[in-house]
């Protein structure tokens, strides 16, 4: 009996030790404020890395590749710039015990010959994809300046893969295609490969490796006892078969984790971390998703929550909680005296909320039922066709059409928050940068 109990306690202690060891601090991140690029970590004061190019003005996008070798900064309407990230030991200096900012350095910014429109960086930080003056796709090699132009609409083309496996992925009415990113098209070269027979209606987003994708297709959902057809977010492998699984009821993909296992999805006024294969997600209402960490465990969110966590906690008690509190009132208090109201949370700035299609927020990571591969909604979908795991969160908001998250928005009185995926339940996102004006991105924990 004693031996059995000792062994059991050893297993429990080992499991607890493993869980504790796995709870690493959040990775550092970069953000733009007061005309400069800053780096911050879980501990220590933020450090300024360098000034934003004066001719750029307000940047709306900041991207860092998975190797932390390149920073891409810009705005679709005002141009794009890149700068090298260097430093002895790089990000390997960060360990689970100390999360002070690593000795990372930002080199000089270089303007890219990109026309108006979005730009993206390859997972290894060697290529930038943007638009030419006529709207076609152009890839620029940052080390050599080499340009590869393809007769494809730039807004429908994405970069995937690294090194020799870097390739272009795009959609057209005949499906989803991929082709190697090469400088020329020699005679006899293999034609583009079709990786999905049907392109989504909108919102195609490809994982960094190019192995999976998310997009909006028509699917079945339940409204009460009625089965309806509506636009839903589906995930699928880019393997030529592209068997689809419903991921969420709706949503616009903002970013992928570097490992391709998680995606940051904006569902109306809710920002969500979602498993790329579906079944698990966590959402926070009243925030706009900004960035996701390389492992998918953390997200950077933009919102306006006043006093942050304190505001979330300062809610008047209701139901049994109100009765319990009333029972603790001083005996000499007037019987009919009105109860003092706790300060209400700061209202969400509806005008500043994104109009991307969106999801209901939840404070619990929910493993939903397995969904059939034909994309039909599962039996636990609620009356509006939303995943059953999404439960109420703070704030309110309405969904809408996809659009650029930053362009044209006001950043006045808005702050940067960090949210965590781990844990069945969680507190409100923690404010990490007050009066935030600009984009942000996580740094990978190691090169």
Minimal CA–CA distance to 178: which of 190, 129, 40?
190
Distance CA 169, CA 288 (A): 27
At 23, the pLDDT band (50, 70, 90 cuts) reads: low
- Please give the pLDDT value at position 64: 96
Sequential DSSP letters for 99-161: -PPP--EE---EE----SS--EE-TTSSEEEEE-TTSEEEEEETTT--EEEEEEEGGGEEEE-
pLDDT at site 154: 95
Strands 288-292 and 298-303: antiparallel
The mean pLDDT of 337-347, rounded to a whole number, is 37
Report strand pairing: 110-111 vs 270-275. unpaired
Between residues 114 and 230, which one has the greater pLDDT?
114
Question: Residue holding tokens 């879980």?
Answer: 42
- Given pLDDT bands bounded at 50, 70 and 90, which one contains residue 230? confident
Q: What is the DSSP letter of 406?
A: S
Residue 102: pLDDT band with limits 50, 70, 90: low
Residue 242 has pLDDT above 80, yes or no: yes
Contacts 24+ apart (CB under 8 A), 139-142: 139/168, 139/181, 140/112, 140/113, 140/114, 142/70, 142/82
Nearest to 364 by CA among 420, 308, 423: 423
Tokens representing residue 34 in the block: 């007061």
List pLDDT tens digits, range 273-314: 999 988 788 999 999 999 999 999 999 999 987 544 434 433
Return the closest-CA partner of residue 312 out of 271, 352, 276, 346.
346
Could you tell me the two tokens for 140? Answer: 């620029």
What integer pLDDT is reported at residue 411 of this predicted model? Answer: 41
pLDDT of residue 313: 36
**Predicted pLDDT at 426:** 57
For residues 15-35, average pLDDT = 71
pLDDT at 352 over 80: no
pLDDT of 178 over the 90 cut? yes
CA atoms within 13 A on the CB side of 413: 12
Residue with tokens 């049994």: 320
Q: Is residue 423 left, alpha or beta, with left meaning phi > 0 and alpha meaning psi from -120 to 50? A: left
Residue 354 has pLDDT above 50, yes or no: no
What DSSP string runs through 16-30? HHHHHHH-PPPPPEE
pLDDT at residue 401 above 60? no
Ranges 5-14, 175-184, 289-298, 328-337, most confident: 289-298
> How many CA within 13 A on the CB side of residue 234?
29
pLDDT, tens digit (0-9, with 9 covering 90-100), for 132-165: 999 999 999 999 999 999 999 999 999 999 999 9
Distances (CA, A) of 197 to 77, 166, 170, 174, 423: 33, 22, 12, 7, 38
What is the C-alpha separation between 73 and 128, in angstroms, rounded? 11
Residue 250: closest CA among 428, 377, 394: 377
Q: What is the largest CA-CA distance in the chain?
A: 94
Given this model, what pLDDT does residue 396 score?
Answer: 30
pLDDT band at 437 (very low <50, low <70, confident <90, very high): confident
Higher pLDDT, 14 or 98: 98
User: Is pLDDT at 86 greater than 80 in this prediction?
Assistant: yes
Percent of the chain with pLDDT over 90: 50
Res. 75: pLDDT tops 80: yes
Mean predicted confidence (pLDDT) in 15-42? 76
Query: Cα–Cα distance between 236 and 341 in angstroms, integer?
Result: 49
Whole-structure pTM value: 0.71
Assign 218 to helix, strand or coil: strand
Q: Which residue has the higher pLDDT, 352 or 70?
A: 70
Q: Which two tokens stand for residue 194?
A: 């079709």
Residue pair 265/357 in contact by the 8 Å Cβ criterion: no
Distance set, CA 444 to CA 59, 90, 393 (Å): 21, 10, 29
Chain mean pLDDT for the chain: 74
Residue 216 pLDDT level (bands cut at 50, 70, 90): very high
- Region 207-221: mean pLDDT is 93
pLDDT for 358 = 29
């Amino acid at each position: 009996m004693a031996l059995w109990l000792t062994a059991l306690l050893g297993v429990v202690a080992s499991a607890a030790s493993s869980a504790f060891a796995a709870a690493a601090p959040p990775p550092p991140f970069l953000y733009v404020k007061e005309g400069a690029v800053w780096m911050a970590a879980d501990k220590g004061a933020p450090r300024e890395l360098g000034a934003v190019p004066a001719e750029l003005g307000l940047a709306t996008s900041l991207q860092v590749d998975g190797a932390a070798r390149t920073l891409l900064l810009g705005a679709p309407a005002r141009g794009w710039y890149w700068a090298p990230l260097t430093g002895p030991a790089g990000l390997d200096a960060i360990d689970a015990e100390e999360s002070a900012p690593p000795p990372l350095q930002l080199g000089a910014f270089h303007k890219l010959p990109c026309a108006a429109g979005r730009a993206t960086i390859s997972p290894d930080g060697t290529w930038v994809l943007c638009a030419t003056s006529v709207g076609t796709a152009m890839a620029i090699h940052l080390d050599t300046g080499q340009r590869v132009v393809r007769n494809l609409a730039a807004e429908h083309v994405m970069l995937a893969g690294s090194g020799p496996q870097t390739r272009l992925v795009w959609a057209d009415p005949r499906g989803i295609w991929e082709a190697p990113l090469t400088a020329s098209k020699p005679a006899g070269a293999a034609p583009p490969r079709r990786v999905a027979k049907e392109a989504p209606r909108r919102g195609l987003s490809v994982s960094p490796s190019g192995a999976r994708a998310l997009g909006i297709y028509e699917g079945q959902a339940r409204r009460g006892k009625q089965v309806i057809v509506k636009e839903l977010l589906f995930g699928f492998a880019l393997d030529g078969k592209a068997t689809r699984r419903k991921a969420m009821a709706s949503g616009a993909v903002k970013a992928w984790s570097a490992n391709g296992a998680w995606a940051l999805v904006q569902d109306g006024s809710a920002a969500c971390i979602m498993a790329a294969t579906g079944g698990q997600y966590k959402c926070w209402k009243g925030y706009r998703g900004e960035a996701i960490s390389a492992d998918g465990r953390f997200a950077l969110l933009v919102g306006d929550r006043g006093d942050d966590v304190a505001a979330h906690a300062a809610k008047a008690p209701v139901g049994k909680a109100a009765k319990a509190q009333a029972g603790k009132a001083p005996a000499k208090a007037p019987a009919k005296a009105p109860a003092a109201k706790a300060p209400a949370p700061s209202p969400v700035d509806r005008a500043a909320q994104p109009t991307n299609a969106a999801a209901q927020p939840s404070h619990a990571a929910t493993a939903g039922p397995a969904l059939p591969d034909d994309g039909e909604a599962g039996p636990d979908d609620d009356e509006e066709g939303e995943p059953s795991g999404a439960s109420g969160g703070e704030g309110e908001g309405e969904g809408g059409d996809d659009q650029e998250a930053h362009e044209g928005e006001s950043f006045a009185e808005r702050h940067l928050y960090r949210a965590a995926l781990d844990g069945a339940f969680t507190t409100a996102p923690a404010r990490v940068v007050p009066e935030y004006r600009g984009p942000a991105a996580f740094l990978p924990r190691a090169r």
